[in-house]
Structure 1
């Protein structure tokens, strides 16, 4: 791996805390004009910080996390989606944690990872010394199988993974994560540290302590905007209730950040600690979004523009707005330069260092191009895709051979809320952007990490047994069953005998047939009945190499039964 050193004058390396919340939109804090949500800590922090007012991320969470960890467009990293095998980052990617660890930093990751749950894709495999995380895309999702098995109240007393070991915690999830973040800071205050504090709130399910919900139970989140002429969505009663719960979850995060910031102050390390606060994408449900169009999942501004506040009192003058468009993949090169770390030169980095903007040395980073795309299972060439350069933004939601007038073109400076499609009067600008969009798209889908799978490696001392969860499964169509069938790409590290356990969603089942396919090998087993949904297939010989493991389970009348997870235990 080639590196280039960053040239910085001698100075004390700053600590870094990167705070990311989940599905908190641009309008889900008081600073940007929401009269309902109570976020005094975040609002005060925003006023003290350098604010990137046009900070762009990906439309959904795993792609954003891959880009900010690597400094690269997410499709280059192999991450294209949030599940169905699309949220596993290639293990040869180089993360912020890896470059800062090489620069002498202690590294910690707490909360939501969502870039692969098996060796070699876990956070501890990607440069983090300390980890406390849940699985999959959220607590209690099907891929987060330990909490999914616990029932509905998944945000309370969650089962987490601490340095690779399962632990049962006590308390509300955001409180638990903050407690551990404070402990990490206290343990590592003598050395420069990098802490990635990644809250899973306010992502659904919208579970929050009563004390916080009671702060909002009587408000109407659709009212209070009488003097605001920005677009506002229609909210039914369910959307209003969702907003109340989201605001409650955000207020809980706000109180937790107050505790963390007070800890930094008490240890007298706040001045030399860079704190970045941002969110991973837009809001999930329609509510106040400071007038922006769209929400999570969309390439409109409401889906990809998020708060981004940066504070390092010892170096940056605060209380400043930066209007220059910037992005999640700018974080890695910025931290590399700031922290005297080394960046890889053997791959394309899409980000640029923001240090000249943060130090008020420059007002622009040049005429950059920003592309965004997301389709479930995609990408698709002209579906939910956008590209922006200077004042113009082209959006595609059309067919592959569609005329340019089927696209949307906005002057994002004059029309920040994307209300006036000007493609019919600006064909020339739209065609130039479409050419850039085509070049970008073709570049992304030809990337080596996009064109290959990223298997879990089983049969090693690093992780045994390996539990393959449904979030990381790859689904293939089975026309006979009219059903998508789940399987997992694995790399068997050693030829030998393995015990395999298939856990089904259904617990009590009669007359079961199992066809376990591993590469070209097929093992069949008939089971009279199950009471716990677990099928044991022990002492199975697996050959070293890459294969796909597919448990094809059928019940009475041949109906396909989807697996919940598969456990593979190497008998050393």
Structure 2
């Protein structure tokens, strides 16, 4: 596994980095390389609130001590919205743009190589102060298996180009633009690659680690990584839940191994973000969700997913209920990296929430297009509107009906509800101008 060696810390420690702020009036004090935190973004694939410890949704939970530690030592974001499927969520994070701007609105949609990605933005705006990498699932180039994601502007890529694997034990690894067939457990390999890459860095780093767990196929992970006991090989007709839970627990085990391999001083200077990319798969949806309100849908079970942030500079703990969109991670991570910017494209930084309670947005937005029709959703936190391109609409009172059982448009609206609907429609039209 060829991982490029970086400049020495001695050389870098004497270099001051100039940061360029967008629309700033006064130049900030220029931080040195040693002031900058490492940033670790961990993305779980198909892990909704009903499959995550600490949330009321779902009655069957995996044992995840390492993810729990990230949660308990930091901040839980209760109102993160993503997209109903994985590619659009990843595209929104990496570009800071909503899907209708990039054309990535459903799984397997392709991100145009002309888009500026977060990794390149950080490197350009910090005068190359950061080493950057993506390890794991890419899924932004359709089903193309010949592209080298490094061409988008990151320093290093190793992982799975496509959206999934036929087997967690036999899959195609792309590294340095070359592909090889792997027979080791994919979750462990992504962790090994991450450990190797981090250990070879000598300046601040930003690692986007995208596991493909617990995405299907349902399978039995190696022993010692989970608490689900001995399971037969999965076949149709078996209960998929223990296999799904085992995959989450195996991922948690590997997250713990990764964090234990980072020297404590370096870990103390690291911000950790853990999140899901969309809701739970239909086969393992748990109440209060149903198979029609999880992954693939614009209902809360499909787009309101877990996010925990802890580590360097995160002084708040507990829960936060402010509205956040996945696109906001672009500006937030950039600001954490020292870039003097709080808003880029559709991305609004919520860095201030890590230490305070200042709201950064009044509405949140999500969308989808499954090849049949466009759908859009917008919320002010209390009311939520879903709009179908065919003109159909649904309106929900999330304060009193958080799981969207009662479409208010099926009856008469109060003045408050009429005003909320009008405001949401107006904001939606502004977003899509």
What's the TM-score bracket when you normalise by the shorter of the two chains? 0.7 to 0.9
Specify whether residues 289 and 94 from structure 1 end up closer, same or farther in structure 2 by C-alpha distance, changes over 3 A only: farther
Shift of the alpha carbon at 1:240?
7.3
Shift of the alpha carbon at 1:210?
5.3
- State the distance in 2 between where 1:21 and 1:341 align: 26
Conserved 8 A contact 2:336-2:351: yes
- State the distance in 1 between where 2:342 and 2:399 align: 34
Point out where structure 2 has 5 or more consecutive residues left out of the alignment. Answer: 1-19
Conserved 8 A contact 1:289-1:302: no
Report whether the alignment pairs 1:58 with 2:49: no
Larger Rg: 1
Report whether the alignment pairs 1:363 with 2:376: no
Conserved 8 A contact 1:282-1:295: yes
Residue correspondence of structure 1 range 487-498 to structure 2 within 5 A: none
How many residues are paired up? 393
Report whether the alignment pairs 1:199 with 2:219: no
Higher relative contact order at CA 8 Å, sep ≥6: structure 1 or structure 2?
2
- Partner residue of 2:394? 408
Shift of the alpha carbon at 1:334?
1.0
Conserved 8 A contact 2:285-2:294: no
- State the distance in 1 between where 2:60 and 2:289 align: 16
**In structure 2, which of residues 94, 101, 105 is the aligned counterpart of residue 80 of structure 1?**
105
- Partner residue of 2:168? 155
Residue correspondence of structure 1 range 92-111 to structure 2 within 5 A: 92-102=114-124, 103=126, 104-111=129-136
Q: Deviations over 1:286-317 (max 9, x none)?
A: 545573561001001000011111112x3211
Conserved 8 A contact 1:133-1:162: yes
- State the distance in 1 between where 2:171 and 2:224 align: 19
Specify whether residues 436 and 138 from structure 1 end up closer, same or farther in structure 2 by C-alpha distance, changes over 3 A only: same
Report whether the alignment pairs 1:376 with 2:370: yes
Residue correspondence of structure 1 range 549-568 to structure 2 within 5 A: none
Question: When you count strand as a share of all residues, which structure comes out higher?
Answer: 1
**In structure 2, which of residues 134, 147, 154 is the aligned counterpart of residue 128 of structure 1?**
154
Report whether the alignment pairs 1:187 with 2:200: yes
Specify whether residues 323 and 292 from structure 1 end up closer, same or farther in structure 2 by C-alpha distance, changes over 3 A only: farther
- State the distance in 1 between where 2:302 and 2:237 align: 17
- Partner residue of 1:535? none
Conserved 8 A contact 1:115-1:121: no
Report whether the alignment pairs 1:309 with 2:304: no
- State the distance in 2 between where 1:366 and 1:280 align: 21
Q: Could you say what secondary structure the match of 2:348 adopts?
A: coil
**In structure 2, which of residues 3, 7, 22 is the aligned counterpart of residue 4 of structure 1?**
22
**In structure 2, which of residues 279, 282, 302 is the aligned counterpart of residue 282 of structure 1?**
279
Q: Deviations over 1:296-346 (max 9, x none)?
A: 01001000011111112x32114221110101111111122221236699x
Shift of the alpha carbon at 1:159?
2.3
Shift of the alpha carbon at 1:129?
1.1
Conserved 8 A contact 2:331-2:342: no
Shift of the alpha carbon at 1:81?
2.1
Residue correspondence of structure 1 range 489-568 to structure 2 within 5 A: none
Conserved 8 A contact 1:242-1:285: no
**In structure 1, which of residues 67, 74, 77 is the aligned counterpart of residue 92 of structure 2?**
67
Residue correspondence of structure 1 range 250-329 to structure 2 within 5 A: 250-264=248-262, 266-287=263-284, 289=286, 291-292=288-289, 294-312=293-311, 314-329=312-327
Shift of the alpha carbon at 1:244?
1.4
Specify whether residues 135 and 289 from structure 1 end up closer, same or farther in structure 2 by C-alpha distance, changes over 3 A only: same
TM-score (norm 1): 0.63
- Partner residue of 1:449? none
- State the distance in 1 between where 2:111 and 2:378 align: 24
Conserved 8 A contact 1:80-1:378: no
Root-mean-square deviation over aligned CA pairs: 2.9
Shift of the alpha carbon at 1:78?
2.1
TM-score (norm 2): 0.82
Conserved 8 A contact 2:170-2:181: yes
